[in-house]
Amino acid sequence: MTKTDFFDEMWGFEQDLREPYAQFHEWFEQEDTARLRAKQREAEELFRLTGITFNVYGRDDAEERLIPFDIIPRIISGNEWYKLSRGIEQRVRAINAFLHDIYHKQEIIKAGRLPSEMIANNDAFLPQMIGVEPPGGVYTHIVGVDLVHTGPGEFYVLEDNARTPSGVSYMLENRETMLQMFPELFSCNRVQSVQNYPTNLRRSLGATTPRLGPTHGEDPVVAVLTPGIFNSAYFEHAFLADQMGVELVEGHDLRVVNGRVAMRTIRGYTPIDVLYRRVDDEFLDPLNFRPDSQLGVPGIMDVYRAGGITIANAPGTGIADDKAIYSYMPDIVEFYTGERPLLNNVPTWRCSDPDDFAYVRENLADLVVKEVHGSGGYGMLVGPAATKKDIAAFRKKLEARPANYIAQPTLSLSTVPTFTRAGLSPRHVDLRPFVLMSPNGINVTPGGLTRVALQKGSLVVNSSQGGGTKDTWVLED
Amino acid sequence: MLGKTANGLFWMYRYLERAENTARLIETGQRIALTRLGDSDAEWRSVLLSAGVWPGYETYKGDVTKEGAIDWLLRSRHNGSSVRACISTARQNARLVRTALTGEVWESVNAAYMNAEKMLARQVSERDLPGCLRTLRQHTALVRGMTHGTMLREANYEFSRLGTFLERADNTGRILDVKYYVLLPSARAVGSALDNVQWESILRSVAARGGFRMGHSSDAGPREITHFLILDQRLPRSLAFCVHQLQDNLKKLNAGNGKPPESLKLVDLLLRKYLTHEVDAIFEYGLHEFIQEILALLGDLTTQIQIDYRFYE
């Protein structure tokens, strides 16, 4: 058998069927392609009817689009998952300790493990958080760690999403859809459940009551703050509020009343204890951050600092998932946990460094170059896939502001069989598991969101650029 | 419950009800046009008036034609009360209050929207019109049924009902307002053929033709129809029925919450002063003035509910 350049999660490098896919393979061999094609259409109908759509930025017609869903599951063995989830836990623990340190004593800088300008000159660092003790000591209640699988048991972290990671509603709805469409597959495979995520989320959020105590009774009042119906992730905000059984609020529903953040109900203002906000830091409080923001609550930061509300994730966590900080993650993990990092970091050139910059400039065709503060796959260069013209144009941008960029080698993202016109074909994927953190511990939901680059050979999995999603199975071993 | 959510539910159901009422008005208009009695254009004008969209039509389109009127009522984007616009607004509100709806209610309103967008993307031919209107009415009925069958009987439900019955009362009131002269007592004991068509069209537009025939003798005329539409509590689209429902919903909302809010007082007044009389007293008072005052009070009631339950800041 021929050896492939990329690790395929079903067939490995050498076309040997891997264990987690054994049952699936047997099932698939019995399946009729026409029936599967019908199922694929049925899945789309289900998604449309449920309203699992996202709004596309920069379009006036407020078009709602579906993220394409691929009906072939991605399967991970229980053993592989166990190792992975330990690595994720370690990383999230370290991120949280790092945040506490950065906003308090800054030991890591004093120890010379992180240059002070990485913090001082970083827009993601929030001076308003200096010396603030977040309720329960938790900064990152929810984290979505982006990983790629490059070989058996070999995972790299691409990005730690420690601000407001999105996509968990797709993890849940993808599973729901698969359960409806292929119940028989779940009978012959023992798949670990993800459906407790909303319950765990509510419990986890409720475990970090504000320092001044909950406003009424034992059970803290939780609410989800959304920028509103036109936000691209509005569906997810409504979905999570609905699944948790809590209110979905917007900035104009809230105001500060008697030192607490309260929501306008049909019977007057009711205080909130824990706010799961899906609004970025800078829009959170027009009195403390951007004065033109209509999305936040005037004075909420003052209430927060006084211990009157829990904000999840805490303001200022962006410093931990900043792309410039990323390259220091192995040091950060070691510094705070005293352990060797269990997960790999992708080697990263920081263009703020003259030597790194010189290397990157000469090797653009082989590298992936990202904006330090960018997200969503915008403003990046994928060297091997770019034309000469693209590269030349990008080089100009890079030379104008080197410190704004980092570069990484192109990774050999694993492939997973995906349903295409030609039947099953390998397509590249990444994985975003979702992690909950509370004073009671860290909980990693088995699975996560698998994003798949539906274009043959493409390595860009972002939904804004033609990516789709898959259900992700972690088997009980 | 958030004031914003109450607002969204209230308007979601108002718009659904309006979509259904408008669909029914189009059916009635089409029906009359086919009987070829009387002046078809005048009839479409009165349909546009009953739907409360005449001023917009006059500005945008001018001359009344059958095609123009149907398209304006059914699918025009310039008419915020067209069936298509109503369903789209209802669905927009449903997205806003997604957490207050059951999954079934949300899916039914989303399906109504998806289907309406598909059916109304192009002008609907005369041949397809009856089927199209029927499907639209079935969709709104399905949302109502899902609401009835799956939603908890708590504040959410009461606001959805308040929206429904306010819109419905308003609609019945507007139909009476436009056609009141047809119902005025006349010297003739039996109406002309044209009168009969007019009476029937009024009954049809509130889905009450069958119900009326069942309960009345064949020579029943405008007096009985007026009674039926205003005072008969068996008819789910009569003013008395709708306002009683509103009173009931407001009472339930207020249960255990102290002294009655202004909106409840207002609805009490509306019932006591206007809907407890004999039909002859209404004629004596003046049918037109009577209807106008009720419509004004229904408008006040909407405003008062918005204030009492903090729909806005």
Higher local confidence (pLDDT), B93 or A457: B93
| Sequence-distant (≥ 6) Cβ neighbours of residue A190 within 8 angstroms | A475, A476
Least CB–CB distance from B111: residue in A49, A238, A249: A49
Q: What is the pLDDT of residues B248-294, one digit of tens each?
A: 999 999 998 889 999 999 999 999 999 998 999 999 999 999 999 99
Output the CA torsion sign for A98, A100, A103, A107: negative
Average pLDDT, chain A: 92
A62 interfaces chain B, CB cutoff of 8 Å: no
B 218-277 residues inside an 8 A Cβ radius of A: 257
pLDDT of A254 above 60: yes
A266 interfaces chain B, CB cutoff of 8 Å: yes
Computed over its alpha carbons, how large is the radius of gyration of chain A? Answer: 23
The answer to which of A230-244, B24-38, B221-235 has the lowest mean pLDDT is B24-38
Q: What is the pLDDT of residues A391-404, one digit of tens each?
A: 999 999 999 999 88
Maximal C-alpha separation, chain B: 58
pLDDT of A63 above 70: no
Q: What is the pLDDT of residues A332-341, one digit of tens each?
A: 999 999 999 9
The tokens describing A435, both together, are: 């992690």
| Sequence-distant (≥ 6) Cβ neighbours of residue A112 within 8 angstroms | none
Instruction: Tell me the pLDDT band of A380, cut-offs 50, 70 and 90.
Output: confident
| Secondary structure percentages of chain A, helix, strand, coil, to 5 | 35, 25, 40
Chain-chain contact of A250 with B114 (C-beta, under 8 angstroms): no
Chain B residues with CB under 8 Å of A254 CB are: none
**What gap in Å lies between CA A146 and CA B135, rounded to an integer?**
46
Closest residue in B to A267 (Cα–Cα): B309
> What letter represents residue B139's amino acid?
H
Closest residue in A to B105 (Cα–Cα): A50
Least CB–CB distance from A249: residue in B2, B110, B257: B2
pLDDT for B217: 78
* Cross-strand partners of A225: A249, A277
| Sequence-distant (≥ 6) Cβ neighbours of residue A267 within 8 angstroms | B257, B310
Task: Say what the pTM is.
Answer: 0.90
Chain-chain contact of B3 with A242 (C-beta, under 8 angstroms): no
The tokens describing A347, both together, are: 């080697």
**What's the rounded mean pLDDT across residues A464-470?**
87
pLDDT for A66: 86
pLDDT of A463 above 80: no
Output the CA torsion sign for A44, A46, A49, A50: negative
pLDDT for A52: 83
Element (H, E) at A172: helix A168-181
CA distances from A4 to A74, A155, A414, A415, A424 (A): 19, 18, 11, 10, 16
pLDDT for A161: 94
For residues B29 and B205, is the Cβ–Cβ distance under 8 A?
no
The tokens describing B123, both together, are: 């002008």
The tokens describing A413, both together, are: 């993202």
A265 interfaces chain B, CB cutoff of 8 Å: yes
Which of A266, A272, A276 should we substitute to test contact with B (largest number of B Cβ atoms within 10 Å)? A266
B307 interfaces chain A, CB cutoff of 8 Å: no
**What's the rounded mean pLDDT across residues A13-30?**
94
Highest mean pLDDT among A321-325, A357-361, A371-375: A357-361
CB atoms within 10 A of CB A249: 24
Nearest to B208 by CA among B184, B243, B239: B239
A101 interfaces chain B, CB cutoff of 8 Å: no
Nearest to A73 by CA among A394, A417, A373, A405: A417
CA A3 to chain B, closest CA, distance in angstroms equals 48
